């Protein structure tokens, strides 16, 4: 279904200061920042509004990101409804080890499902700030991005006609499989890639969480994780071979494996429920550099993908959106180019820091199951150090929460 915000069809000529491609957390946040400064923009989204408001994905949002949303008037529902998490629990060697990072740092995570955040951001952008958004567009193409008169064209869902929108800037926020990244010249762009050679079976269960915090099970049979999403929904992960078929994981096998990998003395039994999502994710990362070419600026997963090991992707998408939204507003309202000139560099510092942390945490999660006694030994040392060395615990908490003073 196509959903068009009121007044869209009467727009003439087709010209906006900014065209945002993609209505995920990054694109919608950029759009909202622009609208708050009365900058006109058009968001082009390939899917329907219903689809993006229900697509299950992230849930863990870092406190600085929530404060960034709050500062921009985008966190009302989140602050009312999100759960606060102040601890996570590692399970290894048949024991439970609670890591109370809230006590250690005074900081916490917010748990708020991504589809709810997307719903809030679409509502605020389209219904409150009167931003223009077009859903269900096909075949988005960028034109003349290295000139000062770029354009975006797309196939209109209603008529099947190709339409052209002229603009000053394009925000490429269309995720890891979007179209905007292809507009970067291949001879000037570098995509740095890392593959873990590991798969995760990502599961969403219609069941209350089995513990009040995130669980990380580091087990010889492979990693298992539990992430509470709401009082009725829980995300679970099971390490599996890359490319595994979700059909190899019937209900009974999933729960038996979760029970085994998350077993620990004194742990309450897992609360089972219907599995409403079951898909295999390949654990890989990449970073695109540079993220700016002429009038095109990439943000979020379009610019960098981080495997969900440390729950960082949406946080990075929001970080980019704050930087890019503010920089576009400065450029378009006062002519100040500084924010846009420094955007790629400012984004990349946090991106690389989070990539490094994900890689470090990946070894903690997967080292025990690598079939290599040496890696199993060093993994155990890493885990023990978190609970024996205050300095190691403080460093972990800082990275897990994204609270470093500088990136």
> Taking CB under 6 A as the criterion, which residues in 178-207 touch ligand RFL?
178-179, 202
Q: Residues near 14 by Cβ (< 8 Å), separated by ≥ 6?
A: 163, 164, 165, 166
Tokens coding 330:
């400065």
Binding mask 130-169 for ligand RFL (x = CB under 6 A): -------x--x-----------------------------
Helices 373-388 & 390-401 angle (0-180, nearest 10): 100
Label residue 398 exposed, middle or buried (CB < 10 Å: 0-12, 13-18, 19+): middle
Could you tell me if 237 and 228 are in contact, meaning their C-beta atoms sit under 8 angstroms apart? no
Q: Does 209 bind ligand RFL (CB under 6 A)?
A: no
Among 40, 47, 244, 353, binds ligand RFL (CB under 6 A): 47
> Taking CB under 6 A as the criterion, which residues in 265-284 touch ligand RFL?
281
Among the candidate windows 162-170, 287-295, 308-316, 334-342, which touches ligand RFL by CB under 6 A? 308-316
Q: Which residues of 48-87 are buried (b: 16+ CB within 10 A; e: fewer)?
A: ebeebbeeebbbbbbbbbbebbeebebbeebeeebbebbb
Measure the CA–CA gap between 354 and 333, rounded to whole angstroms.
Answer: 32
Q: Does 60 bind ligand RFL (CB under 6 A)?
A: yes
Among 59, 225, 367, 402, binds ligand RFL (CB under 6 A): 59
Could you tell me if 52 and 306 are in contact, meaning their C-beta atoms sit under 8 angstroms apart? no
Q: Does 52 bind ligand RFL (CB under 6 A)?
A: yes
> Taking CB under 6 A as the criterion, which residues in 328-387 touch ligand RFL?
none
Tokens coding 328:
């576009």
Among the candidate windows 23-31, 143-151, 188-196, 262-270, which touches ligand RFL by CB under 6 A? 23-31
Among 19, 27, 354, 358, binds ligand RFL (CB under 6 A): 27
Q: Does 114 bind ligand RFL (CB under 6 A)?
A: yes
Among the candidate windows 54-62, 121-129, 190-198, 322-330, which touches ligand RFL by CB under 6 A? 54-62
Measure the CA–CA gap between 362 and 310, rounded to whole angstroms.
Answer: 8
Q: Using omega within 30 degrees of 0 as the cis cutoff, is the peptide bond preceding 366 cis?
A: no
- List, in sequence order, every beta strand (DSSP E) within 69-217: 83-85, 88-92, 95-99, 109-111, 132-135, 138-143, 151-155, 162-172, 190-206, 214-217
Nearer CB in complex with ligand RFL: 195/333: 195
Nearer CB in complex with ligand RFL: 93/242: 242
Q: Does 45 bind ligand RFL (CB under 6 A)?
A: yes
Q: Does 175 bind ligand RFL (CB under 6 A)?
A: yes
Tokens coding 293:
């070419």
Q: Which residues bind ligand RFL (CB under 6 A)?
A: 21-27, 44-47, 52, 57-60, 114, 137, 140, 173-175, 178-179, 202, 281, 300-301, 308, 311-315, 317
């Amino acid at each position: 279904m196509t959903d068009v915000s009121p007044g869209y069809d009467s727009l003439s000529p087709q010209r906006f200061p900014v065209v945002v491609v993609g209505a995920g957390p990054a694109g919608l946040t950029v759009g909202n920042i622009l609208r708050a400064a009365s900058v006109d923009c058009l968001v082009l989204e390939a899917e329907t509004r219903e689809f993006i408001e229900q697509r299950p994905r992230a849930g863990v949002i870092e406190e600085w990101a929530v404060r960034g949303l709050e500062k921009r008037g985008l966190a009302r529902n989140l602050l009312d409804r999100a759960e606060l998490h102040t601890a996570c629990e590692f399970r290894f060697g048949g024991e439970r080890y609670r890591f109370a990072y809230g006590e250690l740092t005074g900081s916490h995570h917010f748990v708020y499902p991504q589809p709810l955040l997307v719903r809030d951001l679409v509502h605020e952008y389209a219904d409150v700030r009167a931003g223009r958004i077009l859903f269900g567009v096909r075949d988005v193409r960028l034109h003349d991005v290295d000139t000062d008169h770029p354009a975006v064209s797309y196939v209109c869902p209603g008529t099947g006609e190709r339409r052209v929108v002229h603009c000053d800037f394009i925000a490429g926020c269309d995720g890891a499989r979007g179209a905007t990244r292809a507009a970067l010249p291949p001879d000037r762009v570098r995509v740095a890639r890392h593959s873990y050679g590991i798969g995760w079976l990502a599961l969403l269960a219609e069941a209350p969480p089995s513990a009040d915090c995130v669980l990380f099970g580091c087990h010889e049979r492979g990693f298992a994780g539990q992430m509470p999403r709401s009082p009725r929904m829980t995300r679970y992960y099971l390490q599996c071979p890359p490319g595994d078929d979700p059909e190899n994981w019937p209900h009974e096998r999933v729960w038996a494996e979760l029970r085994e990998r998350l077993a620990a003395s004194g742990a309450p039994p897992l609360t089972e429920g219907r599995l409403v999502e079951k898909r295999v994710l390949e654990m890989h990362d990449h970073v695109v550099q540079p993220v700016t070419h002429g009038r095109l600026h990439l943000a979020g997963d379009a610019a960098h993908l981080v495997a969900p090991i440390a729950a960082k992707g949406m946080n990075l998408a929001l970080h980019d959106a704050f930087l890019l939204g503010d920089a576009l507003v400065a450029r378009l309202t006062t002519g100040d180019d500084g924010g846009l000139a420094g955007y790629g560099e400012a984004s990349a510092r946090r991106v690389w820091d989070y990539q490094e942390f994900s890689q470090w945490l990946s070894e903690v999660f997967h080292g025990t199951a690598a079939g290599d006694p040496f890696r199993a030994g060093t993994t155990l040392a890493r885990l023990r150090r978190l609970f024996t060395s205050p300095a190691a615990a403080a460093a972990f908490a800082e990275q897990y929460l994204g609270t470093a003073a500088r990136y």
